């Protein structure tokens, strides 16, 4: 009996290692960033607003749990998710949290304060409209993230370049902006800028990780 108990305790202990890794807000943010593609520790530190030393410590924890892996490219070491299932778990966790935590729901309202800020959740209709050219899907993440993976029919204009490149966007069609996912503010800022300039703009909360997990006949990838 004691042997069976010891085995069960060991099993749960090992599974709990994943939970411990996901218990850190900064590690969650690192995972979300790595959902966008591989990155160096310096880039990850800058994006999360913490030191390289602390970023490296968090990445070490993720590596020990076999959730990320590394590859040396020249003088740089790049970090990437070990498998797309890590991205899927991140999406499942934040989706559950959004359903259960009223505090999180209230925080999310600060990203979209108006009912018409968000794109309706009918993905197929959105993609059909994008394919027909009736709407413009705009990826406002950095170019390297767009090249790693992006939503179908999306056009890339990074947020920092948007004001200078407004002339590339049509004013007779709606612009649907997205970025890294529901906790990324770049798309919100893009929508505000576009509306100030007279465009009809909406905010799509999904990023590539959410789109890939929830599924669509229009797969994430490199699309025209």
Whether 179 is catalytic: yes
User: Could you give the angle at which helices 41-48 and 52-64 cross, rounded to 10 degrees?
Assistant: 110
- Annotated active-site residue in 176, 179, 184, 194: 179
The pairing of beta strand 39-40 with beta strand 76-81: antiparallel
Sheet of 201-203: strand order equals 155-156, 135-139, 174-178, 201-203
| Cβ atoms of 216 and 127 closer than 8 Å | yes
Give the angle 79-177-39 at the CA atoms, nearest 5°: 10
For the annotated catalytic residues, the residue numbers are 179
């Amino acid at each position: 009996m004691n042997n069976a108990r010891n085995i069960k305790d060991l099993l749960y202990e090992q599974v709990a290692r994943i939970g411990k890794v996901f218990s850190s807000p900064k590690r969650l943010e690192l995972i979300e960033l790595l959902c966008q593609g591989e990155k160096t520790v310096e880039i990850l530190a800058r994006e999360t607003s913490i030191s390289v030393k602390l970023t490296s410590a968090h990445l070490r924890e993720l590596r020990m749990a076999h959730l990320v892996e590394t590859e040396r490219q020249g003088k740089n070491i790049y970090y990437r998710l070990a498998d797309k299932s890590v991205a899927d778990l991140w999406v499942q966790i934040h989706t559950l949290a959004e359903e259960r935590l009223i505090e999180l729901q209230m925080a999310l309202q600060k990203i979209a304060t108006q009912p018409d800020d968000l794109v309706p959740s009918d993905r197929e209709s959105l993609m059909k409209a994008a394919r027909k050219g009736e709407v413009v899907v705009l990826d406002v993440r950095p170019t390297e993230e767009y090249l790693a993976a992006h939503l179908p029919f999306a056009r890339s204009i990074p947020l920092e370049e948007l004001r200078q490149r407004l002339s590339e966007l049509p004013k007779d069609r709606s612009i649907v902006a997205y970025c890294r996912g529901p906790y990324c503010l770049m798309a919100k800022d893009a929508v505000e800028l576009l509306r100030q300039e007279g465009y009809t703009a909406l905010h799509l909360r999904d990023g590539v990780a959410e789109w890939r997990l929830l599924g669509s006949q229009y797969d994430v990838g490199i699309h025209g």
